[in-house]
Structure 1
């Protein structure tokens, strides 16, 4: 055990999700955007329970009692997580009720009382759209307790007939829309479960409906795949997917009005512990607020239209322009449509011989996937390395793999035991008798939907050396070849961590000689132990370390004798901060990198990632400006002090400055 102090991964992540929640009570955030942050908080928490809490429960059930780097056993962590989550859910309910009241002032009514003119319309919705799909299961010897799938909304109903009590469960169908919108003199938003609860007497004729309570279960949804034993990974993933809905229960959410008798019945049929129960006000699961957040543009962030910089166009001139110089982009301020357009142009260009791409996540209806299929049908060689194990995108990636293969693409699934998380596109073109490789390297996915929501870096180059190394990376992914002479692009799991440790060691040498030594890191998470230990060592050696870490952070900041030279901040705003940028002062000759890898053990040791050195001076300046802008933010930044985050506030002498808003207002090139 190291004598350094580390923060637990799960506890740190919950701190991040709390920062998301606090955006919903920030006065500077538009009203309907607050609903969106409440929904994001709920969605994040669902995944946290399905994966992280589920994993800890598996460890406890297996008798695992060892402590992690923070000194906690799995059982201790589960207790801490339960305490924190119960408090956060309570805070979420309080914030939601406040925001809901504000919405009503603007004639947007969420979960209204169903009465008057509204009742006639809602009754029609129930009769025509909902009732045909409702299938209650009334508990009896003939009807055992039904299996409740992961995240399925349910209504537990108390009934009476001939003086006897009966209980029934309505499992709301997955294909029934969750939210219904009714426009009268106001706009009303109702959930399907509230509508059903209103008309339960229609569902149970002959019974007296005494009461009803909302219920939702969260189950273990981690998808473990033993690749070494799989002859066909595609078929194995397809076989495993249904199991995600049937894992062990890790959380029970239930209406706070439910009496002890109902809890006893549920515990008799569903295995859970008391601390797994979250007793909350209706409605359960605030992800439905996504459907409300777009109702009034005047109550949301002003519409922002990304632009294509440098006068570039996705047409036949694009290849000549990329040969002139390297181009760097910052989405969503810059329009990702340029990259989609580049692939479309390549698919139709007679001089393009081959297109190669890694695919981790793509959106439904992706124009990029359609372009790849079009290129293959036109006779071009199209090679796609698809990561079938991209969490919660497995099903969609299986569908894309099948569609691309049918179009004639060469589809492979990378290297057994490693997730393919690098983001690469290579277009091979024959020009005047010579081969030219055009390469796109990115910190983000080829997902046209999230490209408008996440900040990420895109880099285009026709540099010969970079092209050769990108070709070697694809050969490694598709042919399992080994290549070690990397000069621009360093892959994980073999090269990224050693190079980062080497670069930090160099800064420590400068510090020992009394020279300026500085490291600036922008990543989503930091939890890799060797890297954290090296950061602490560097701080003690006098290296100034500035870290912009959106989510998980396993180190402390500002603690004397340990981390006094470390500054850590987290930015949570309109867009999800997603790029990875690393800067080393290097004795006044800065080295700047973009990367797909977070500083986590999984990224460094169990994934194929890339760390790409940006040597172009203008592009390096561009990246340094992003880092500086992040470090100046005093409206959306949180500063880590010890192991606690505090919201950064502008001083009396400072003007409020938000890095995201500044990019929207002023752009960057």
Structure 2
């Protein structure tokens, strides 16, 4: 039964339920109100008003978005530095730090540099102009890059060596293995290498994004003239060359194999020196959708242009001579502030290859998802639609199997003769995905299949074009998103003939329909045959595939239609309940919190006494625990073996609790520039299930970081006598007790 305000029993500042749930952690507590601020945020200098006085110190209210992201990536690196992390997993987190940073430069730094180049006097919510922001980014990154390379060279590399994973410099291997590498160079490398001279007769060559290169200084033995050339390290070959016939896993960096055989590339020349460098280019697409008659053609053309995006970063050996350094800076069109000096190996993202070596004792214990209890307990002859008819249920990936839930839903729909239509949104998936194959099979079976493919999913654009065309060729109705909006929602609708009526079955989730990422992304989804949800998704797909100005939905929060307003209403409802004396509580779990209007509403709620817990994995621009502004707001971040990707929104509503899940973060792009769906979860048992998830995450003392008012994140450690509690390990142990 739903509890009402008058049913609540307050004791020691907590809401006491009639049947408390034992989840092995402390229940959610709502502290007593200890006073109210007599000023709302909007009376405190109007910090988010874009037209407000520019002298206002906005940094009092907001953290810089880019610097907050850098702080997130620092937490990722810390998982690698943390000695409690298994050795090869430490290499993995070190690699993830680097690949995250690549994307950050390709998109975020590139965007700030464009604003600076175009002299756009845009001030961020925390008060920084583009030039100051670029300097702040560099100042924040320099010590982190140094930290990563110090850790790799002085800790990780020696530890790997002790355990038989030897990443050796070419000069430190014996003659026998040098002979093997010479043979490897001659047979595998030499035919694919192309040395490119740089002199008046040879213009500076094009250098591709994220490519590792050698700049080689040579002297002509006859004339004595010195020149330099560029050799690209081929990305089609493994970065670390395995030396066979050794009892250990022994590798040598590919660029060093090339460097020690340069005489074969420059016969008759004296090799004076060589230095590795790597560049990063602007990879953000700039599509004028209003003028694009054919979105696929426009996107393909933009992808071709993307290869020649401006350089936004150069990583280079820290011992490169000044003259060569300046020549590269000049030729690449960058400045000194775009250069990052690297002491040692460049491009540590390639350490990911070492993380999967067959050394189980140095890796996380392998995880195999379990089948959801509702599906596990059902007889084999019972189809998934019969199971959904018995009641809504939630799935929690990767703890519960994607294959036996979401994938099964689409595959059974494709084969079921009673299913008339399947409609689905696809943001990121893979061309060999069982989901794609099932949709093709459904079309071949004569069903009406409509798929909304988001072509503009960043870095997946080319892949999405390929498999979208495969769907079209099979007879699937493919729609390529809405003009000027990305379709980010994760929804599927199946229409089934049951007797003399049509029944609509829905799946609404927080994660992509991608079986690969479902193995290491933490996501939620709900299955239901609720009439209102089915009708809402029907209206949504009509909006996506046809002409519609649908403004009202029965249950769903849909961006950019009603989601922003509805979330603000939910926050302000908590404010009103608190003012009336009812204990009020908000919990929001998501990837990022950036939106200034939402943040302002949360500040206002805190000032009147609403308690707020925010579980934000990545960027958080809200400044918690500021006296008189955000005293009641706590922000945590969880970084672990699985990427926290689920979005959950809880509102105590004076005891008549409301909980939502969906695809949207609280960011302007999600609320205003994307099609997103958030659904209420109304079944009481499922509300309790989501509350348990939140309780467990909030109680984590192993992989949780607390955000402080000054912007620092401090990792939690168990108190004296308190057992270590990892929320991810807890969820794993619920399905497999051996992980307890």
TM-score (normalised: structure 2)? 0.88
Shift of 1:43: 0.5
Does residue 667 in structure 1 map to residue 707 in structure 2?
no
Paired residues for 1:519-530 under 5 Å = 519-530=586-597
Query: Which residue pairs with 1:41 in the alignment?
Result: 97
- 1:345/1:121 CA distance change after superposition, 3 Å: farther
The answer as to whether partners of 2:115 and 2:122 remain within 8 angstroms in 1 is no
Matching of residue 153 in structure 1 with residue 223 in structure 2: no
Q: Is the 8 A contact 1:315 1:342 kept in 2?
A: no
Structure 1, residues 72-108: CA drift from partner, whole Å, max 9, x if none?
1110010011111111110000111211110000110
SS at match of 2:375: coil
Return the structure number with greater relative CO, CA threshold 8 A, min gap 6. Answer: 2
Q: How has the CA–CA distance of structure 1 residues 202 and 484 changed in structure 2, closer, same or farther, with 3 Å as cutoff? A: same
- Determine the C-alpha separation between the residues in 2 that align with 1:315 and 1:450: 30
State how 1:50-199 maps to structure 2 within 5 Å.
50-97=106-153, 98-112=155-169, 113-162=172-221, 163-183=224-244, 184-199=246-261
SS of the residue aligned with 2:717? coil
Q: Within the alignment, does 1:581 sit opposite 2:581 as a pair?
A: no
Superposed displacement of residue 160, structure 1: 1.4
436, 439, 443: which one pairs with 2:510?
Answer: 443
Give the structure 2 partner of residue 474 of structure 1: 541
Q: Distance between the aligned counterparts of 1:117 and 1:563, measured in 2?
A: 66
Q: What secondary structure, in the 3-state scheme, does the structure 1 residue paired with 2:267 have?
A: coil
The reply to whether residue 299 of structure 1 matches residue 362 of structure 2 is yes
Unaligned segments of structure 2, at least 5 residues: 1-45, 48-55
After TM superposition, the structure 1 = structure 2 runs for residues 516-665 of structure 1, keeping only pairs within 5 Å, are 516-642=583-709, 643-665=711-733
Counterparts in 2 of 1:116 and 1:341: CA distance versus 1, 3 Å = farther
Partner of residue 309, structure 1: 372
Q: Pick from 304, 308, 314 the counterpart of residue 246 of structure 1.
A: 308
Cα pair 2:407 2:435 within 8 Å, conserved:
yes
Is 1:225 aligned to residue 287 of structure 2? yes
Partner of 2:430: 363
1:257 aligns with 2:314: no
Inter-CA distance 255–566: structure 2 relative to 1 (3 Å threshold): same
Question: Higher mean Cα deviation, 183-192 or 607-616?
Answer: 183-192
Summarize deviations over 1:209-239 as a string: whole Å, max 9, x none: 1111001111111001111111111111111
Whole-Å separation in 2 of the counterparts to 1:211 and 1:260: 13
Q: Distance in 2 between matches of 1:315 and 1:137?
A: 66
Q: What secondary structure does 1:292 align onto? A: helix
SS in 2 for 1:649: coil
CA distance in 1: counterparts of 2:176 and 2:605, whole angstroms:
68
SS at match of 2:241: strand
CA contact (8 A) 1:315 1:345 kept: no
Change (3 A) 1:364 1:124: farther
Structure 1 counterpart SS, 2:355: coil
Moved more, 182-191 or 544-553: 182-191
C-alpha deviation, 1:668, in angstroms: 9.8
Q: 1:195-214: per-residue Cα shift (whole Å, max 9, x none)? A: 21121122222111111100
Deviation at 1:511, TM superposition (A): 1.1
Quote the Cα distance in structure 2 between the aligned partners of 1:484 and 1:653.
Answer: 55
For the 8 Å contact 1:316–1:345, the answer to whether it is kept is no
- Counterpart in the other structure of 1:322: 388
CA distance in 2, matches of 1:257, 1:331: 47
Q: CA deviation at 1:374?
A: 1.3
- Which sections of structure 1, spanning at least 5 residues, go unmatched? none
The answer for the alignment partner of 2:30 in structure 1 is none
Q: Give the TM-score taking structure 1 as reference length.
A: 0.98
Compare 154-163 and 598-607 and name the one that shifted more. Answer: 154-163
Q: How far off is 1:267 after superposition?
A: 2.4
CA distance in 2, matches of 1:356, 1:656: 44
The equivalent of 1:17 in structure 2 is 73
How big is each residue's C-alpha offset from its partner over 1:339-360, in whole Å with a ceiling of 9 and x where there is no partner?
1122122211211111110010
Please state whether the residue corresponding to 1:130 is helix, strand or coil: helix
Q: 1:172: how far off?
A: 2.6
Cα distance in structure 2, aligned partners of 1:587 and 1:472: 32
Shift of 1:260: 0.5
Contact 1:568/1:640 (<8 A) preserved:
yes
Partner SS state of residue 512, structure 2: coil
- Change in CA separation of 1:59 and 1:492 when aligned onto 2, cut-off 3 Å: same
Q: Secondary structure at the match of 1:548?
A: strand
Write out per-residue CA displacement over residues 28-75 of structure 1, whole angstroms, 9 at most, x where no aligned residue.
110000011011100110011111111111111111233211011110
Structure 1 residue 399, shift from structure 2 partner: 0.6
